[in-house]
Amino acid sequence: MPTVETVRGAVDVAELGPTLMHEHVFFVGTEYLQNYGSGWWDEEERVADAIERLRSVAARGVRTFVDPTVWGGGRYIPRIQRINEQVPELNIIAATGYYHYTDAPIQFSNRGPGLLFDETPDPLGREFVRDIAEGIADTGVRAAFLKCAVEHPDPAPGVERVCRAVAYAHRETGAPITVHTNAHRQTGRWVVDLLRAEHADLTKVVIGHSGDSGDLDYLTWLADSGALLGMDRFGIDVYRTTPERVETITALCERGYAERMVLSHDAMCWIDWFGEDFTGMRDQLMPNWHYEHIHNDVLPALREAGVSEKDIDTMLIDNPRRYFTR
């Protein structure tokens, strides 16, 4: 039986069950936290809050939580291990890659193809391979998928380099890919073209945040490439409301695209992008931006709109299983 690596070891892909394909436990810059976090970060309080929230979403029936937090988003696996130990009913899947909208890591600015220390393949991609094949640092946890971010339609050279390094690690290991894209700027088109040129298996690529768009021409163009559409920001109402997101998914299901969509919230217990009172801001401005919104509100709305139970299972169970089957 094919297995997938999780924070607590290998799991049979048939056991993944209902899966949220893009959530973060935390999105908190490690260097920022270490130097400027004393006013707003209490480690014990944040860990306890995460344990409570993950237990709660598991109690709603979610079995697997796919966390694309990588370098650039403050990935710190020991904290995730500590939390997952207290929520053994939930699989957490870790990622490798790099998250930045304009650059590659400065630590690699002198090493790599065509640079001062001319190395091929790109040592950045080799680090990603190591996270997948051997494990992340000395945690014993292996990453099971790759992540990069393409926010601008004409990406900077550093961003293109990261994407090519991700494609290299994908070819080497067979690990699938999730890309942060900007759906309004339709950056998924650039991603599909680049990954195709890099000989990636597009059926193992999630074009993240596609659900921020309602443009069916754009979405079907992406899906027809073989890629999966990340309908993964339920609860971020400031970008698109839940009824709008539900309407788009319903229209795509009617056209036979259930096999090309996955569902999630892109939520987190804490993110350091909104000042010191993140939870207060969330509760006031985006009260649905939490891990249970899909099970509480979105699935009933999809059923109401005529989406079949079979299509819901396809998006929530079958597509994630296929994505993680190597």
Binding site for Zn ion (CB under 5 A): 266
Choice between 212 and 266, CB closer to Zn ion: 266
Type of residue numbered 151: E
Query: Are 99 and 70 in contact, with CB atoms under 8 Å apart?
Result: yes
* End-to-end Cα distance, the chain: 10
d(C-alpha 54, C-alpha 237), whole Å: 22
Is 147 annotated as a binding-site member?
yes
Choice between 166 and 307, CB closer to Zn ion: 166
Choice between 266 and 272, CB closer to Zn ion: 266
Is 22 annotated as a binding-site member?
yes
β-pairing, 3-6 vs 9-12, is antiparallel
Residue 123, token pair as written in the block:
């040592």
Residue 202, token pair as written in the block:
């597009």
Choice between 236 and 253, CB closer to Zn ion: 236
Least distance (Å) between residue 197 CB and Zn ion: 25
Least distance (Å) between residue 239 CB and Zn ion: 13
Choice between 67 and 122, CB closer to Zn ion: 67
Least distance (Å) between residue 103 CB and Zn ion: 18
Is 290 annotated as a binding-site member?
no
d(C-alpha 217, C-alpha 205), whole Å: 19
Least distance (Å) between residue 233 CB and Zn ion: 8
Strands (E), 186-306: 205-208, 228-231, 261-263, 270-271
d(C-alpha 205, C-alpha 190), whole Å: 13
Least distance (Å) between residue 268 CB and Zn ion: 8
Choice between 204 and 233, CB closer to Zn ion: 233
The sign of the torsion formed by the CA atoms of 176, 178, 183, 185 equals negative
Mutual angle of helices 216-224 and 188-197, in 10-degree steps: 10
Least distance (Å) between residue 207 CB and Zn ion: 13
Is 209 annotated as a binding-site member?
yes
Query: Are 221 and 252 in contact, with CB atoms under 8 Å apart?
Result: no
The residue nearest Zn ion at its CB is 266
Q: How many CB atoms lie within 10 A of CB 301?
A: 18
| Sequence ranges of the binding site | 22, 24, 147, 180, 209, 266
| Sequence ranges of the binding site for Zn(2+) | 22, 24, 147, 180, 209, 266
